[in-house]
Structure 1
Amino acid sequence: MSCLRRHLEALSVLQWVLTFLFFGIFFAVLLAYLLFTAYWSISVLYFIWWVTDWETPERGGRRSDSMRGWKVWELHRDYFPIKLVKTAELPATKNYVLGSHPHGIICAGAFSAFCTEATGFTRHFPGLKPSLALLAGLFHLPVYRDYMMSSGMVPVSKRSLDFLLQDGPGHAVVIVVGGAAESLDGAPGEQRVCLRGRKGFVRLALQHGADLVPVYSFGENDIFQQLRFSEDSYVRRLQLRFKQLVGFAPCLFWGRSIFCSQLWGILPRAAPITVVVGKPIAVPRRPRPTEEEVDHFHGAYTAALEQLFEAHKGSCGLPPSQRLIII
C-alpha cells in the first residue's frame, strides 16, 4: 500500500474525529459571532430555517444516500480496517431493533457499518434502512444536526424511534445500548458491556413487534487508550455527574499523533474492527408489555449476545479464554 494512501486514510479519520468533537461547537460559535458582523443575515436565515425544521430529526431525519456513499468513508473504513459480518438474513418485510455493543469512545464500527455504505450494509441487507440513534441533545446543535441526519442518524428519543417503527417495514433502528456510561469502561483488551439494567430497547421492540438483533463490534475498545479511575474516586464521580447533567461522559482518552506514531494524539489507533450482526430474535407485538415479557426477551437477548460473542471471538483475534463481561 502506498504511503500516500495511508496518509489519505489517516486524514479521513482525523476529519471524522474532529467533526465528532468540535463541529457542533464550532458552528454554534460561528453563527453567534456572525450576528455582530456585516454577515448577520446568514445567522438570522439559518435560525429561521432551524426553527421551521426543528422537528425533522424526530420525524425520520433527512438521509442523504449521496453522503452515505462518499469515497472518504472507504478511506475511513480501510484505515482500521472495519468489516461488516452478516450471520443471518434480515428481510425488509419486518422492522428491527439492533442493539450495538460496545460503545467504545467514538462508535467507529457502528458509524462505518450503519451510517455509511463503506462496509456494504445495503448489499448485505437489501431493502433495509439503518438509523443509528444518538444522544438527542446533539440534534440541537446548528449545522451539526444536518450533518448527522444526512448519514441517517436520529435522536435516541421515544418519539423519534416510535416514528420510524410506525413508518412501515424495512427499518433497522440501531441503539448503542450501553450509552455514555459504557464509554467510561472502554479500554484495549477489555470486553465489558452495560446491559443488565438496560431494558428500554426491549420494551420498544415489544411495543412495535420489531425483532431484536444483537450486534457486537470486536476491536472497538482497542482504537483508543483511556485514563480510567476507580469507581469510588472523586474524578469518576465527577464524570458520572457530568453525564447525568449533559448526557455524555467526559472520557480522558488518546490515540496517536498523525505526525508521529510515538506521540499522543486524537487519531485512533489502526486496530481492526469487525461488526458482527447476529440473528434476529422474533418479538411479538405488545403495545403494553408486562414486566415479565420485558424480562423474558431481555434475557433471550442477553443470551443471544453472549452466544454471538463466543461464536466469533476466535475469528476476530480474541483468545479462547476471553469472556464477555455484562454489567
Structure 2
Amino acid sequence: MKIHFAPADVPLDRRLQTASVLQWVFCFLGLAPCCIVLFLYLLFTRFWIICVLYAIWWYIDWDTPSQGGRKVPLLCRMRLWEYMRDYFPIKLVKTADLDPRQNYVLGFHPHGILVAGAFTNFCTEATGFSKLFPGLKSNLLMLPLWFRAPFFRDYIMCAGLVPSDKESAKYLLQRKGGGNAVVIAVGGAPEALDARPGDCTVHLANKKGFIKLALENGAHLVPIYSFGENEVFDQVENPRGTWLRSIQEHLQSFMGVSLPLFHARGVFQYSFGLMPYRKPINTVVGRPIKVEKNEKPTAEDLNTLHQLYMDELTRLFEEHKGNYGIPEDSHLVYL
C-alpha cells in the first residue's frame, strides 16, 4: 500500500486541530485504562497515599455521577474544543425553539463510531449550544462502566457526562424549573457496528426505554440527526451472520461496549490510522414533541409515542438530507 504523507507546510491552525482531535481520540480509547493502571501502579509505590486519599474521596463522591455530575463550564469553553470543531468541521443546526421552562430528552442518531458530534455539540460550547438554546443545560449519557475508572470518572463528569441508567436520567429530568436536556445516543453500542460511510441505519424499532423515561417524567422528546456522523471512519465489513459480527455482538452482550474494527487516517499520513477523516458533521436538532406526564404508561401509550417519534425523525431526515449530500433515494433504515 502506498502511504500518502501529510505535506510539511501544513498551517499551524490545522496542526492544532489535529492535535486537539488526537487527544480526544486518546481520551475516548485509552485514557480510562491508563487511569486504572496508574492507580494500581501508585498503590505499590511510595505515593500509595495518593491512592488511599483518592479512594476515600471516591467513596464520599460515589453518587455524584448519578446526581447530575459535576459539569465545569469553564472547561467546556476551552479553545481546545473549537480546534476540534474546526477539524471536521462540526456544526449544530437549530430548527425550532426549545422552551427553557421544560425538561427534554434529546434522542441522538446515529451513534457513529466515537459519537464525535454528540460530544462536541453537547459536552462543549464549541458549537454554541447555550447560545442557540438559552436557558438549557445539556448532559450526555454514557455507559456506567466508565464511571468505575478512577480519575477518569472525574474527567468525564467535567464535560457533563452522566451514567446512562434510569436513575441518573430521572434525577436530571425531575429537577424543578426545567432547563435540563438529557442527550441519549438511542442506538447505543450495537448501532456503532453499522456505522460506515453512506449507511443510514438507525437502531430504534425496539428502543422504547427513552420513550418511557420521557412519559414518566413529562419531558418533551426532541429527535436529532447528525449528518456525517458515519462518514468520519471506515469499518471492516461485518454483515450480520458473519463470524466477525457474531463475535462482536457476543462481546457487546456481556461487556456492554461494542468493538467495531474501524480505521481512517493517521497523524502525519492520510493512508491508515485511528484519526477520523476531515469530513463535515452537521447535527440537526428537530422540533420538540410535547409529552404529558404519565407515571404508569401502558404499552399502547409507549407504542403511540414511539411511532410519533419515529415519524418525526423520518421527517427531519427527509427534510434536511438534501442539504448535506445525502442522495435523494437514501432513506432511514430502522432496526
| 1:150-165 matches, cutoff 5 A | 150-165=158-173
Q: Which amino acid aligns with 1:173?
A: V
SS of the aligned residue for 1:276 comes to strand
Where does structure 2 lack aligned partners over 5 or more consecutive residues? 1-8
Matched, 1:265 2:265: no
Matched, 1:144 2:152: yes
Q: Which of 25, 32, 45 is the matching residue for 1:17?
A: 25
**Contact between 1:184 and 1:228, CA under 8 Å: does it hold in 2?**
no
- CA deviation after TM superposition for structure 1 residue 326, in Å: 1.1
Q: Which of 148, 172, 183 is the matching residue for 1:174?
A: 183
**Aligned equivalents of 1:240 and 1:160: distance in 2?**
26
Counterpart in the other structure of 1:184: 193
Matched, 1:207 2:234: no
Matched, 1:111 2:85: no
Q: Which amino acid aligns with 1:324?
A: L
- CA deviation after TM superposition for structure 1 residue 32, in Å: 0.3
Q: Which of 41, 49, 63 is the matching residue for 2:57?
A: 49
Matched, 1:293 2:301: yes
Matched, 1:248 2:252: no
Where does structure 1 lack aligned partners over 5 or more consecutive residues? none
- CA deviation after TM superposition for structure 1 residue 317, in Å: 1.5
Q: CA RMSD for the aligned pairs? A: 1.0
Aligned-pair identity in percent equals: 48
Matched pairs, number: 326
- CA deviation after TM superposition for structure 1 residue 2, in Å: 6.5
| 1:10-89 matches, cutoff 5 A | 10-89=18-97
**Aligned equivalents of 1:229 and 1:304: distance in 2?**
30
- CA deviation after TM superposition for structure 1 residue 35, in Å: 1.1
Deviations 1:237-270 (CA, angstroms, capped at 9, x unpaired): 11111111111101100110111112x1111000
SS of the aligned residue for 1:315 comes to helix
Q: Which of 179, 196, 205 is the matching residue for 1:196?
A: 205
**Aligned equivalents of 1:247 and 1:142: distance in 2?**
19
SS of the aligned residue for 2:181 comes to strand
TM-score (norm 2): 0.96
Matched, 1:96 2:104: yes
Counterpart in the other structure of 1:274: 282
**Aligned equivalents of 1:273 and 1:31: distance in 2?**
36
- CA deviation after TM superposition for structure 1 residue 37, in Å: 0.9
Deviations 1:32-66 (CA, angstroms, capped at 9, x unpaired): 01111111111111111111111100000001001
Matched, 1:307 2:325: no
Runs of 4+ deviating beyond 6 Å: none
- CA deviation after TM superposition for structure 1 residue 289, in Å: 0.5
TM-score (norm 1): 0.98
- CA deviation after TM superposition for structure 1 residue 146, in Å: 0.8
**Aligned equivalents of 1:139 and 1:255: distance in 2?**
28
Q: Which amino acid aligns with 2:263?
A: W
**Contact between 1:103 and 1:180, CA under 8 Å: does it hold in 2?**
yes
**Aligned equivalents of 1:196 and 1:205: distance in 2?**
17
SS of the aligned residue for 1:42 comes to helix
SS of the aligned residue for 2:258 comes to coil
SS of the aligned residue for 1:220 comes to coil
**Aligned equivalents of 1:228 and 1:299: distance in 2?**
31
SS of the aligned residue for 2:28 comes to helix
Counterpart in the other structure of 1:222: 231
SS of the aligned residue for 1:175 comes to strand
Q: Which of 118, 122, 137 is the matching residue for 1:129?
A: 137
**Aligned equivalents of 1:83 and 1:98: distance in 2?**
17
